[in-house]
Amino acid sequence: MFSGSIVALVTPFNHSDEVDYDSLKQLVEYHIKSGTSAIVAVGTTGESATLTVEEHVKVVNKVVEFSAGRIPVIAGMGANATHEAVTFSRLLNNSGVAGCLSVTPYYNKPTQEGLYQHYKAIAEVSEVPVILYNVPGRTGVDMLPETIGRLSKLDKIVGVKDATGDTSRVKQFREFCGDDFVLLSGDDATGLEFVKLGGDGVISVTNNIAAAEMATMFSLAAQGKYDQAEIINQQLMPLHTHLFVESSPIPVKWAAHKLGLIAQGDLRLPLTELSASAQPIVEKALKDAGIQ
């Protein structure tokens, strides 16, 4: 259902701290032309935590409008309050999205049973497929493979984005969730290895600025041409690594602006512009990866 190179799309802002819909449209066209498999709109890389509910829904709707059925759109709709995630799910049910991506609740650190009940509540109201998102380095909670296995038995829950970087989990996911459950890496540096071990694709930050290269790499991987895919992966490794030199999406928005993909690289507080000391690091990574 969902596979290949999926972009965790940034949300462009202008200097007035408003969403830049012209740049957003430009980004959608860039990904369609580059062969990106799907777009995640207003995921955590899209600074979902700093958008109002109205902005969140509008950005998702605009990405669907701009894509015009040419590329699947997955809506980010996570929250640390279950009722809020359920509200997002209801609001986005009729938006035309192909699915939704819901990050584990952050800060409040629920138990594994709490995570199960959280996603069960979302699944009960969602009319589109739900992808779980586990990123303990950002949320403070690790949704274990056993819990994901339980959730995989619910009708609407079809996959997981795992950003632990622990590729040994692929085998566990398959054992607990079955062959039809969608396994997506959320870690660019280990994404190709994740697919080699049986995963279906990646939801990627690097894809924001190297979309064609990422699409080609995962197309090759899908054909079993891992040696050719690995050549591209090693070329992109400076980006996989250094786009996290400061908190994401700070570096990738700076790079996207530098490359002319968005009009401005502005972020919303508490995120701030890429520091002067980090800018040469990202610039060198772009050059080393051949993305200029």
pLDDT the model gives residue 289? 97
Pairs from 279-284 (Cβ < 8 Å, separation ≥ 24): 279/254, 281/242, 281/245, 282/242, 282/243, 282/245, 282/251, 282/254, 282/255, 283/258, 284/238, 284/242
Token pair 């935590």 is found at 49
pLDDT the model gives residue 151? 98
Average pLDDT rounded to a whole number, residues 155-168 = 97
Mean pLDDT of the chain: 97
Tokens at 255, concatenated:
């790079």
Q: What is the pLDDT of residues 191-226, one digit of tens each?
A: 999 999 999 999 999 999 999 999 999 999 999 999
DSSP string, 166-227: -TTHHHHHHHHH-TTSEEEE--GGGHHHHHHTT--EEEESGGGT-HHHHHHHHHHHHTT-HH
pLDDT greater than 80 at residue 1: no
Which active-site residues does the annotation give? Answer: 133, 161
Instruction: Please return the burial class of 175, using the count of CB atoms within 10 Å of its CB with bins 0-12, 13-18 and 19+.
Output: exposed
Average pLDDT rounded to a whole number, residues 279-290 = 98
Q: What percent of the chain has pLDDT over 90?
A: 99
| Cα 249 to Cα 271: distance, rounded to the nearest angstrom | 9
Tokens at 237, concatenated:
């490794």
CA 244 to chain centre: 14
- Residue 122 in domain: yes
pLDDT the model gives residue 98? 98
DSSP string, 227-292: HHHHHHHHHHHHHHHHTTSSSTTHHHHHHHHHTTSSS-----TT--PPPTTTHHHHHHHHHHTT--
Task: Look at the chain and report how many structural domains it folds into.
Answer: 1
| Cα 183 to Cα 162: distance, rounded to the nearest angstrom | 8
For residue 44, give the CATH number of its domain.
3.20.20.70
Tokens at 171, concatenated:
């085998």
- Residue 249 in domain: no
Q: Directed axis angle between helix 53-67 and helix 82-92, to 10°?
A: 30
- Residue 228 in domain: yes
Exposure letters 77-104 (e unless 16+ CB within 10 A, then b): bbbbebeebbebbebbeebbbbbbbbbb
- Residue 156 in domain: yes
Q: What is the pLDDT of residues 138-158, one digit of tens each?
A: 999 999 999 999 999 999 999
pTM for the whole thing?
0.96
Look at residues 278, 192, 198, 200 and name the one whose alpha carbon lies nearest to residue 235.
192
Binding residues: 45, 203
- pLDDT tier, 292 (very low <50, low <70, confident <90, very high otherwise): confident
Average pLDDT rounded to a whole number, residues 55-71 = 98
Q: What domain range is 219 assigned to?
A: 4-236
- Residue 147 in domain: yes
| Cα 123 to Cα 150: distance, rounded to the nearest angstrom | 13
| Cα 94 to Cα 263: distance, rounded to the nearest angstrom | 30
Binding residues for pyruvate: 45, 203
pLDDT the model gives residue 185? 98
- Residue 132 in domain: yes
- Residue 56 in domain: yes
| Cα 149 to Cα 29: distance, rounded to the nearest angstrom | 36
pLDDT greater than 80 at residue 16: yes
30 CB-near residues (< 8 Å, 6+ apart): 211, 261
Average pLDDT rounded to a whole number, residues 28-45 = 98
Average pLDDT rounded to a whole number, residues 252-274 = 97
- Residue 131 in domain: yes
